[in-house]
Amino acid sequence: MENLDSIDLEILSILQENAKISHKEIAEKLNLSRTPIFERIKKLERRGIIQRYITILDRKKIDKNLMVFCFVSLKEHGLEPVTEFQKTINSYSQVMECYHIAGSFDFFLKVVVNTVDEYQNFVLKSLSNIQNISNVQSSFVLGELKYQLKYELGKKM
């Protein structure tokens, strides 16, 4: 785990719960002074372990009521067609996540919009314009049973 000691793991665990927590509060929780906490966090950022700090919104309160898992198969699987697909998908704001997968499909997309009509519009005006797509299968999310962004971090051995 990239030479992370138990203090680094504790800091990361605390930040996953609340990215707005102050260095002072982290230091108090870990019985350390602010300076080593500050330095450790900066080091974790430089190393790319901490990639960025975000605010998580309640999607339903901002009119993003429909989540769709979209499975996509491509006609061609060479480097250029796959790269072009990825570039195009990254330009669509409705696509929240995209994974290149193995199995029956090539890509798994998490699409979030407000209504079924908005999703249909996305499929007809955006996805259908990608020439290399051979098949799309959509699954509409009926309910969210678990939504977690925090990784379980093991203790340093």
Please, what are the averages of pLDDT over each run of 10 residues along the chain (157 residues)?
87 96 96 96 96 94 97 95 96 97 97 98 94 95 93 71
Per CATH, the number for 6-46 is 1.10.10.10
Contact 84, 49 (CB under 8 A): no
Contact 105, 137 (CB under 8 A): yes
pLDDT at position 3 is 86
Among 3.40.50.300, 3.40.50.1820, 3.30.70.920, 1.10.150.120, what is the CATH number of 59-140?
3.30.70.920
Q: Please name the residue that has the structure tokens 């993003």.
A: 64
Determine the Cα–Cα distance for residues 98 and 53; give it in Å rounded to an integer. Answer: 20
